[in-house]
Structure 1
Amino acid sequence: MQLKALRYFAMVATTGSFSATAKHFQVPSSSVSRFISKLEQDIGQQLFYRNTRSVRLTEIGEKYYIQIKEVLDTLDFANEEATGKNSNVRGLVRINTAVALGRLHISRIVNQLHDIYPDLSVELILTDTFIDPVQEGADITIRIGSLQDSALIARKVCDQTYVLCASPEYLERYGTPETPQDIQKHQCLVYKGVSGSQRWYFRQNELDKPIEIEPQGPLKSNNAEVLVSAALEGRGIVLFPTWIFEEDYFKNKQLVKLLPKWLCTVEPYVVGIHLVSPENRIRSKKVRTVLDFILKEIGSPPYWDNILTF
């Protein structure tokens, strides 16, 4: 059994494509197919379901991938240690993050990453579904919310800062709320996820017991950008973290911040953003390099909090 066959297998399992794997390793697709077929013969099991549209792992293939990935990660780590700290950063790093955060921010950072490390490839998966990084093979997961006790290694990016806002047109028509209780009289644009509609919490100091509001209005959605667009069109008030908004919305007075003396959240406690990785992944030079790069690009405080200055 050849190591090359295992690397081809792991890449096909990740990309779901023989052609993408061939492109990554700069070999003909026929070579990848031949090595995979020989691997299946050697172990006496079918690893992939193949058709003209897709390639996906069989149940045996999924179990085999998890075991082989551990072996390849250990080997890559050993190679990195042997070649020294000054060797080029190369290989594949898998990043998982929320859809909106990935589209608005992480995708740009990944593009900058490739300019500096051309031998590094990134698989960026955007999903709002809570995943198990170990089972999904993610090297870095950007997690929003509370962290559960686990074997994952976490590095904090920031606490989320929220902004309550509406368009000038909406405020001219309906008036400006002066207290959290006034929100109940207004048209609100509410995020509704798998756990139901969000509630809004207000406090004047971090240690205060929050005032809980159940916002109501003409539109609910599981997509934050849909709700922000509705706010820009004057349909109601929104409450979202700073990273959801574009700086120009406030710079150009398209949106106006409300209740500036209040701390606003969608949880009764402070919610943070963390970069988490399985312990065996964080030992890899390429993963540590990407983690450090993401943290540096976001900054502390995060650059998206610049909207608070307008």
Structure 2
Amino acid sequence: MRINDLRLFLLVVELGSFASAASSIGIPRASVSRRIGELEADLGTKLFTRTTRQLSLTPTGENYHQQLMEIIPRLESLNECVKNQRNMPTGTVKLGLVGEADVLTHNLLQDFLKNYPLITIETHVSNLGYHDILNYGLDACIHIGSIKDNSFIARPLMRVSRKLYASPDYIATYGMPTSLEDLNQHALMIYRKQNGELEDSWKFNLGEYRVKSRVISNSSHYVRHAILNGAGISLLAELSVVEHLRLGNLVEVLPEYEVYVDDAWLVYPSRKGMTHAARLLIDSLIQEATKTPNVTLSQNS
């Protein structure tokens, strides 16, 4: 029993005769009669009552017709769904992220997953950048800073800079600084790098400021969370606060001052042997990063 024969049965019922059905699809009337006869033989029952002048459904044929009117559209929809899934990319992509990029890339990755529902993304957060590609079998990673291994392919994403931010509640309580000297009257938080270096000197584009802070952390997540909750003022990477600025959870402090860090790169071993899913994600990240507001792009991108 073939689905095309079931469709032919529905067509005969719709048009009222073998001849009309044959004419509508361009086949001989005898072929229609033969295929309907084979269908009836498979079912072991008559579907039509045939006379020289009239073709009518038997009670069994009427019930069969009603059921097929529901089943065939559902079956065709299911077949189309399976075909679409077969043509859609699948697989798991392992992506390395630096701590500052996790907030920015979250929305980008969610959009990607909506467009490719059969792809899975596994993220690995680390400050070691491209060094983790081989250690953890990553397909690609976001790296900030210079890249000394020329065996990798590196695509520039954006310029990474840091600015001063505070919560609106903190500013409402303690006031908005208007100069670097005013920072002496505020609660400041500073960051200790992974190599142990303390960022107690903020080297802005318009001058340097020596920081006196009672709160030190080696976690950019902790610093950002504390500032969001009104703990004071600190330097945060622009790309990590895009959404918070949009929602009004943070405000810029002394916006003309910034600390240039480096360029952010999307790094991957090679396109040779790369899965289709990984290639799609890489292309998507490069394209979407250029659309992100409030982030200064690299001159090389």
Partner of 2:281: 290
SS at match of 1:189: strand
Partner of 1:138: 138
> What do the CA deviations read for 1:19-62 (whole angstroms, capped 9, x no partner)?
xxxxxxxxxxxxxxxxxxxxxxxxxxxxxxxxxxxxxxxxxxxx
SS at match of 2:138: coil
Q: Is the 1:186–1:217 contact (alpha carbons within 8 Å) kept by the matching residues of 2?
A: no
Task: Confirm or deny that 1:214 pairs with 2:210.
Answer: yes
C-alpha displacement at 1:173, in angstroms? 5.6
Q: Is the 2:89–2:277 contact (alpha carbons within 8 Å) kept by the matching residues of 1?
A: yes
Partner of 1:303: 293
Partner of 1:260: 255
> What do the CA deviations read for 1:162-212 (whole angstroms, capped 9, x no partner)?
3212245544665543333543554211122322222422114xxxxxx33
RMSD: 3.1
C-alpha displacement at 1:147, in angstroms? 2.5
Partner of 1:163: 163
**1:124 is matched by which residue type in structure 2?**
T
**1:255 is matched by which residue type in structure 2?**
L
TM-score by length of structure 1 reads 0.56
SS at match of 1:271: strand
Q: Is the 2:96–2:141 contact (alpha carbons within 8 Å) kept by the matching residues of 1?
A: yes
Partner of 2:220: 224
Larger Rg: 2
**2:114 is matched by which residue type in structure 1?**
D
Partner of 2:202: 200
Q: 1: CA distance between counterparts of 2:118 and 2:168? A: 48
SS at match of 1:303: coil
- 1:98–1:217: structure 2 CA closer, same or farther, 3 Å change rule? same
Q: Is the 2:93–2:277 contact (alpha carbons within 8 Å) kept by the matching residues of 1?
A: yes
Partner of 2:26: none
C-alpha displacement at 1:141, in angstroms? 0.7
**2:276 is matched by which residue type in structure 1?**
K
Q: 2: CA distance between counterparts of 1:99 and 1:241? A: 10
C-alpha displacement at 1:220, in angstroms? 1.4
**1:153 is matched by which residue type in structure 2?**
I
> What do the CA deviations read for 1:57-102 (whole angstroms, capped 9, x no partner)?
xxxxxxxxxxxxxxxxxxxxxxxxxxxxx96433332111124523
- 1:231–1:134: structure 2 CA closer, same or farther, 3 Å change rule? closer
Q: 2: CA distance between counterparts of 1:93 and 1:255? A: 33
Q: Where does the alignment leave 5 or more consecutive residues of structure 2 unmatched? A: 1-85, 297-301
Q: 2: CA distance between counterparts of 1:184 and 1:282? A: 55
- 1:109–1:176: structure 2 CA closer, same or farther, 3 Å change rule? closer
Task: Confirm or deny that 1:183 pairs with 2:194.
Answer: no
**2:218 is matched by which residue type in structure 1?**
N
**Equivalent runs, 1:43-192 vs 2, <5 Å:** 88-102=88-102, 104-130=103-129, 131-171=131-171, 174-184=174-184, 186-192=186-192
Partner of 2:7: none
Q: 2: CA distance between counterparts of 1:250 and 1:111? A: 18
Q: Is the 2:144–2:265 contact (alpha carbons within 8 Å) kept by the matching residues of 1?
A: yes
Partner of 1:45: none
Aligned residue pair count: 208
Q: Where does the alignment leave 5 or more consecutive residues of structure 1 unmatched? A: 1-85, 205-210
The percent of aligned pairs where both chains have the same amino acid is 25
**1:197 is matched by which residue type in structure 2?**
L
TM-score by length of structure 2 reads 0.58
